[in-house]
Chain A
């Protein structure tokens, strides 16, 4: 079945970087953009950006420009999200997600990874 499996929890220090992976299965990896969304503890969702796994092209939310890098490795059907210069405000669950598709695709997130908890603490 269609599935996104993310890497495990991370604990890191302020100023450091973190890289989260998202492995896709059950569908054409290069056929759909991969979105990244985060959720701080007890807070709402925040869109971070997306990558086109086919071309490698990216779009980042303004709030993360210059601090986030999204990449992919098509040979292993995996997308990556790296966030730099971490602060305690970056403590959150990070999700990869794919849009909902039937005969066409829609601007709504349907397939979600299980989430990766990133804790930034000194």
Chain B
């Protein structure tokens, strides 16, 4: 089963907002509200940032928000900070052979 599709890279200046897209199909993102987003700094373990499309776990900054429309999910980071520079992965529950699909990851560069 194909992974979810994310842009390879995005960039923004401190204080700006950026949006990362995550494209799936009607078998995953389009059919379930179980979309999550992860932040991963180099050499570190992934960190859950968003679950159930748009909910934040306790302790995650409100600068991180997310949504879904049809088969595409999006993560928005507002007020960019240097510490936001990392890789971001989306994930969705799927009715296919694999219970969970992940995106290939997007590298965020804070200019």
Are A and B subunits of one complex? yes
Chain A residues with CB under 8 Å of chain B are: 35, 37, 43-47, 50, 59, 61-63, 95, 100, 106-110, 112-115
Cβ-defined partner of B45 (8 Å) among A46, A61, A112: A112
B45 A44 Cβ-Cβ under 8 A: no
7 contacts between A and B (CB under 8 A): A45-B102, A46-B102, A47-B100, A47-B102, A100-B48, A100-B57, A114-B45
* Chain B residue at minimum C-beta to C-beta distance from A50: B99
Contact with A along B2-42 (1 / 0, CB 8 A): 01000000000000000000000000000010101010000
Q: Contacts A62-B1, A108-B34 hold; do A115 and B100 have CB atoms under 8 A apart? A: no
**A63: which B residues are within 8 A, CB to CB?**
97-98
Q: Which residues of B contact A (CB under 8 A)?
A: 1, 3, 32, 34, 36, 38, 45-46, 48, 50-52, 55, 57, 89, 91, 93, 96-105
**A interface, by DSSP: helix, strand, loop or mixed?**
strand
Q: How many A-B residue pairs have CB under 8 A?
A: 69
In the assembled complex, how far is the CB of residue A18 from the closest CB belonging to chain B, in whole angstroms?
20
Find out whether the CB atom of A62 lies under 8 angstroms from the CB atom of B97: yes
Question: Which of B46, B51, B89, B98 contacts A100, CB < 8 Å?
Answer: B51
Additional A-B contacts beyond A107-B32, A108-B91, A112-B46 (13; CB < 8 A): A44-B3, A44-B102, A44-B103, A47-B99, A47-B100, A47-B101, A61-B99, A62-B96, A63-B98, A106-B55, A107-B100, A108-B48, A108-B51
Q: B52–A106 contact, CB under 8 A?
A: yes
Q: Are B104 and A43 in contact, CB atoms less than 8 angstroms apart?
A: yes
Using A43-B104, A45-B46, A115-B45 as known contacts, say yes or no to A110 and B98 having CB atoms under 8 A apart.
no
